[in-house]
Amino acid sequence: MLIKMSMSFLNEVLKEKRALVKDLKQKMPLQELKKVVRGVEKRPFFKTFSKRFPKEVRIIAEVKRASPSRGVLIHNLDLPMLVSEYEKGGASAISVITEEKHFRGCLSYITETKNITGLPVLRKDFIVDEYEVYESKAFGADAVLFIGEVLEEGQIKDYLNIAAEIDIDVLLEIHRLDSYEKVADLKGFILGINNRDLETLKVDLSTSLEILDSIPADLPVIVESGIERREDIERFAEKGVSGFLVGTSLVVSKDMAGGLKGLRGINEDNG
């Protein structure tokens, strides 16, 4: 039953997003949106996570107000405070969830975050249309998330080309090895390996550990979901990981900056 429920949820979200994009296109046609992205500067997201064996632990800290599995995580969002805590903890980038209905996100959070911090900002959402690639750039995102299980191979290739044209970086997320196999010949993205099974919604860190064995050593990789302890991060050290995306465990923490430092292996004695 859980499998049916989770897949129904994903299908529901994708249906909602397609309807939303259709409405947005009526309000601002694609050709008009393309004009807006001109001159929007980009911070170095790809460059920040380009190495598989970085000297320090690099973490993308997430602005995440709610999740379907956990419900509301932040009742009253204080974005400046949240981002400030992430900066104090040594985050290398900020991820902003923009899906509104189920995650309580908002596109304006990207622009607001860019005005607060000098860190690169990733837009995390269920991208279903090329329109949203341009939209992400227009709102100031330095990188955008594509989900391998959501997009067809042809779409991924087209969207990667668009991203290159408008100068926005890409985090291409997969949940299974066969999803990587369909994009293995493509270039121009950071690979995200998500430990959450899209069917059962369960999190298993062994997912990333197993998939990493089949990923070329020169492809940058971000590990997502289920990272809660320093020990979790240390498990990936030998395989070489460009960084980690951490959301829930940080936003529910009473000490977000301290939690980030702990994940990075930083304490008061060693700085």
Domains along the chain with CATH numbers = 2-37+57-264 (3.20.20.70)
Is the pLDDT confidence value at 4 over 50?
Answer: no
Q: Name the nearest CA neighbour of 151 among 114, 182, 186.
A: 182
| pLDDT digits 0-9 by tens, 29-85 | 999 999 999 888 899 999 999 999 999 999 999 999 998 778 889 889 999 999 999
How far apart CA 64 and CA 123 sit, in angstroms, is 11
Q: Average model confidence (pLDDT) for the chain? A: 91
Q: Name the nearest CA neighbour of 245 among 262, 216, 266, 221.
A: 221
| pLDDT digits 0-9 by tens, 245-258 | 998 889 999 999 99
Which band of pLDDT confidence, cut at 50, 70 and 90, is reported for residue 203? Answer: confident
Is the pLDDT confidence value at 116 over 80?
Answer: yes
Mean pLDDT value across residues 4-11: 64
What is the model's pTM?
Answer: 0.93
Q: Name the nearest CA neighbour of 92 among 128, 124, 50.
A: 50
Q: Phi, psi at residue 22, to the nearest 5°?
A: -60, -40
